[in-house]
Structure 1
Amino acid sequence: MEISENAALVVVDVQKGFEEEYWGKRDNVDAEGNIATLIDLWQETGRPVVFVRHDSPAGSRSPLRRGHVGNDFKDFVQERRGKGRGPELLVTKSVNSAFYGEPDLDAWLKGAGIGQIVIVGIQTNMCNETTARMGGNLGYDVLFPLDAMHTFDLAGPFGWTAGAEELTRATAVSLHGGRFARVVSTRDVVEAASAGAR
């Protein structure tokens, strides 16, 4: 696996609102540590980092609503913003895909000649997966380090439910098997990005 010198790290919705009980049981307690590792590496090597924030409507009950403390980035992300040697972008959105935010992520990436993106953050099977699918459809080489993200148990139709781990596996199989993205590990990405920066 190769990581290009200008591959963009897209950090999706790592916000305080996801720490609230509202969401239920989560998986992957190592997600935040792995996200931090990748942000640090991207900043140290001068690669571009995109921070994405979900802005739910101010009047909603969502923990991510504007004006609520849950809308803020988690401290470990906020502390790293603006610390890199490479370009940085803040994208705000109100839907699942980072490609439907402000400013236009696709235009920014294409304007910078970026063809490869690495997606991390919250939630695996929601905004991360949607962004990965759109990225694949738009022609980007999408890497999806599965251990640098997490999700929550979920209830669906017909009384069906799925655990966070089950949803994570389903996302990985769909994205990788459907060739929307390459599902990898944080270690894979660190090794390839470090080699590419030498």
Structure 2
Amino acid sequence: MPHSLPALIVVDVQRAFDEWEAAGERRNNPDAVAHIAELLKAFRASDAPIFHIRHEGTKPTSSFRPESSGYAVKDEAREQASEPVIVKRVNSAFIGTDLESRLRASNIGTLVICGATTNHCVETTTRMAGNLGFDARLVRDATWTFDRIGPDGDAHSAEAIHAMTLSDLNGEFARIVTTNDVIASLAALRQ
């Protein structure tokens, strides 16, 4: 019997992204971390499961190396003692971790996914969640990404990348939702 409450999966809300911004990288969705904090508050109030994902960089130049300042979690998304932190070394939170076995052991069928970045670790985790048979819900206003240069030298805005990623995932791998949708759904489950 599936768990009646969804699990919140908080992907890579780490200080490295603040450092990227301070160095001049431009991102979209400036309210994403505030929305993640709202989701954490709602899930905690509902006693719903929360899993924190941390990226541990393995390349010498990675902003996410454990000894670097960028590895630390942002204050707004800090875990509580009862909330597991799962460390990954690749884009997907399911590869090289025990996330799937923890979810299956708790009979959790629905995953609410948020964090950073939309088109990297959030997308990869969401795709795998869908492929593994979970009812994945990606929270569009609780994730963000950065401007990028494509292989042909074309500039792509963070907004366009974010929108395309959501379009790619919608219906095939996940349902795209908002923070308000999730909070309303949790409130309805508690009644």
Find the aligned partners of 1:134 and 1:192 in 2 and give their Cα distance.
Answer: 23
Amino acid at match of 1:8: A
Q: 8 Å contact 1:91–1:101 — kept in the other structure? A: no
Matched with 1:197 is 190
Matched with 2:116 is 122
String of CA shifts for 1:158-196, please: whole Å, max 9, x gaps. Answer: 11221100001101110004x200001111111111111
Amino acid at match of 1:26: R
Identify which of 84, 93, 96 aligns with 1:98.
Answer: 93
Amino acid at match of 2:4: E
Find the aligned partners of 1:19 and 1:117 in 2 and give their Cα distance.
Answer: 26
The residue correspondences of 1:69-148 to structure 2 (distance < 5 A) are 69-78=69-78, 80-82=79-81, 88-102=83-97, 104-148=98-142
Amino acid at match of 2:95: Y
Find the aligned partners of 1:146 and 1:23 in 2 and give their Cα distance.
Answer: 24
Matched with 1:158 is 152
SS of residue paired to 2:170 = helix
Q: 8 Å contact 1:118–1:145 — kept in the other structure? A: yes
Shift of 1:5: 3.2
Matched with 1:11 is 10
Number of aligned residue pairs: give it: 187
Q: 8 Å contact 1:5–1:197 — kept in the other structure? A: no
Amino acid at match of 2:77: V
Amino acid at match of 2:92: S
TM-score, normalising length from structure 2? 0.93
Instruction: Give 4+ residue runs of structure 1 displaced > 4 Å after superposition.
Output: none
* 1:43 matched to 2:44: yes
Shift of 1:6: 2.6
String of CA shifts for 1:129-173, please: whole Å, max 9, x gaps. Answer: 100000000000000110011110111211122110000110111
Shift of 1:23: 7.2
Matched with 2:35 is 34
Gaps of 5+ in 1: none
Find the aligned partners of 2:122 and 2:145 in 1 and give their Cα distance.
Answer: 10
String of CA shifts for 1:83-112, please: whole Å, max 9, x gaps. Answer: xxxx6321101100000143x111110011
Matched with 2:55 is 54
Matched with 2:175 is 182
Find the aligned partners of 1:157 and 1:192 in 2 and give their Cα distance.
Answer: 41
Amino acid at match of 2:160: E
SS of residue paired to 2:84 = strand
Distance change (3 Å), C-alpha of 1:101 and 1:76:
farther
* Larger mean Cα displacement after TM superposition, 153-162 or 7-16: 153-162
